[in-house]
Chains A and B, each alone.
Chain A
Amino acid sequence: KAGVTQTPRYLIKTRGQQVTLSCSPISGHRSVSWYQQTPGQGLQFLFEYFSETQRNKGNFPGRFSGRQFSNSRSEMNVSTLELGDSALYLCASSLEGRTFDYGYTFGSGTRLTVV
């Protein structure tokens, strides 16, 4: 079956712009989580959506937002980009969002570079 699909794979944006990243989970999975990966901070949790509702939120400023659609596809948006937002953004999907049952499947990520 198809894995988790993230688009685009690479993005270059200018400071102050906004960006939207997309994630299509595995068919049937209802939970989508987003993580930011940087060399300095490692993997940091952004937010999780389950059945179109945000269920968990990490410690990121309000410039980072997300949503989930009825088909479980998710988007995250970053407004007023800063240089420090340059990172690999990873999406992970899960059947129910409970790691001890099913675990998470990660996509290959979107590499965002802010110049």
Chain B
Amino acid sequence: GDSVTQMEGPVTLSEEAFLTINCTYTATGYPSLFWYVQYPGEGLQLLLKATKADDKGSNKGFEATYRKETTSFHLEKGSVQVSDSAVYFCALSQGNTPLVFGKGTRLSVIA
């Protein structure tokens, strides 16, 4: 079945550092890809999405590009802030199928 693999955490960065969280997927067909973020004690929030190859999703300084040739959807941010500390989940879905999530990557940003 479909699956998502993302880099293990935790990731600890200093404020203003560059962030990359790797995500690769296995799927039949052409899934939509998502990044969700979970802040402590809260549910998941959609951070960005891409629905077809070469699409770039972006939001709040985060970006990810749907790469069909490498089946990847890596999350990047040029300059992280302490407020970005959270758990990040990569996910995929096809049409009406449920979201399939990666295991999550915990990011800690220190001042």
By a beta-carbon cutoff of 8 Å, the part of chain A in contact with chain B is: 4, 6, 33, 35, 42-43, 45, 48, 55-56, 58, 90, 92, 97-100, 103-109
A56 contacts B42, CB within 8 Å? no
Using Cβ atoms and an 8 Å threshold, which residues of chain B touch A106? Answer: 36, 43-45
Kindly state whether residue B34 has any CB partner on chain A within 8 Å. yes
Q: Complex Cα distance A39/B83, Å?
A: 23
- Min distance, Cβ B9 to any Cβ of chain A, angstroms: 12
By a beta-carbon cutoff of 8 Å, the part of chain B in contact with chain A is: 32, 34, 36, 41-46, 49, 51, 89, 93, 95-104
Looking at the complex, which one of B32, B51, B95, B101 makes contact with A43 (CB distance below 8 Å)? B101
Q: Complex Cα distance A67/B97, Å?
A: 18
| Closest residue on chain A to residue B98 by CB atoms | A45
A97 contacts B46, CB within 8 Å? no
Number of A-B contacts (CB under 8 A): 55
| Closest residue on chain B to residue A33 by CB atoms | B98
A55 contacts B96, CB within 8 Å? yes
Q: Complex Cα distance A98/B95, Å?
A: 5
B99 contacts A45, CB within 8 Å? yes
Give the residue among B41, B98, B99 with the most A Cβ atoms within 10 A: B98
Q: Complex Cα distance A103/B7, Å?
A: 24
The 23 sampled A-B contact pairs (Cβ below 8 Å) are A4-B43, A6-B43, A33-B98, A33-B99, A35-B99, A42-B101, A42-B103, A43-B44, A43-B99, A43-B104, A45-B100, A56-B97, A99-B49, A99-B93, A100-B51, A100-B93, A100-B95, A103-B49, A106-B43, A106-B45, A108-B42, A108-B43, A109-B42
B46 contacts A103, CB within 8 Å? yes
